[in-house]
Amino acid sequence: MLNALKRREDIESSIKLIINLLDLKYIDDERVFCISNSNSKSKSYARIFGLPYQFQLILNIKPVYVIEIIERNFNSLSKEEKIEVLIHEIAHIPFSFSGNLRPHNKSFRRYFDQLIRKAKNQEIYKYIKIIK
C-alpha cells in the first residue's frame, strides 16, 4: 500500500495556483500537500485529510492538509474536471484553517458553487497546468 502512495508536487503547484487565483487568503498554501494513490479501489476522484488538533498539539505543529488523488479515477477526467475536483477538495478547508474539514452540507455546496463560478469568471482553467 505505501508503495502506491506518491507525493505529487506537480499537482501541489496547481493547488497553490488555484488557491492564489481564487484569492483564498485564509489558506496557507505552503501547508497543503498532495499525494496520489495508484492502488485505491475508492470510487472517489480525490479526498482530503486534515491533521486533527490533538496531533498538532502533541507534535507541536501547525495545521496541515493532504489531498489524495485516486489515480485510476482522476486520470480519466478532462483538465476542467480535474481542476473542479481540486477546487472541491480545497472547499473542504474551513476558514479557520484549523486542521478540521467542512462537511458536505448546504453551506458547503453554496461555497463550492461560488468558487466554481469565480473560477469560470476569471478563466483560471487556462492558467493551470495539470500533469497526467
CATH number of the domain within which 103 lies: 3.30.2010.10
The tens digit of pLDDT for each residue in 106-128 reads: 999 999 999 999 999 988 888 88
Which among 9, 11, 18 is positioned nearest to 87, based on CA atoms?
18
Total number of domains constituting the chain: 1
Q: Is residue 30 part of a domain?
A: yes
- Structural domain containing residue 99: 2-126
The pLDDT, as a whole number, for residue 132 is 59
Residue at 131 is within a domain: no
Classify each residue of 96-105 as buried b or exposed e, where b means 16 or more C-beta atoms within 10 Å of its C-beta. Answer: ebebbbbeee
pLDDT recorded at residue 81: 95
Render pLDDT for 11-50 as a digit per residue (tens, 0 to 9).
Answer: 999 999 999 999 999 999 999 999 999 999 999 999 999 9
- Is residue 116 in a domain? yes
In a domain, residue 132? The reply is no
Which pLDDT score is estimated for 75?
Answer: 94
Residue 111 lies in a domain: yes
Grid cell for residue 84? 473542479
Give pLDDT tens digits for 76-106.
999 999 999 999 999 999 999 999 999 999 9
Strands 65-70 and 32-37: parallel
pLDDT for the residue 3: 77
> Is 86 inside a domain boundary?
yes
Q: Give the pLDDT score at 1.
A: 54
Residue 108 CB: number of other CB atoms within 10 A? 16
Is residue 2 over pLDDT 90? no
55 pLDDT more than 60: yes
Is 67 a member of any domain? yes
Residue 131 predicted with pLDDT over 70 = no
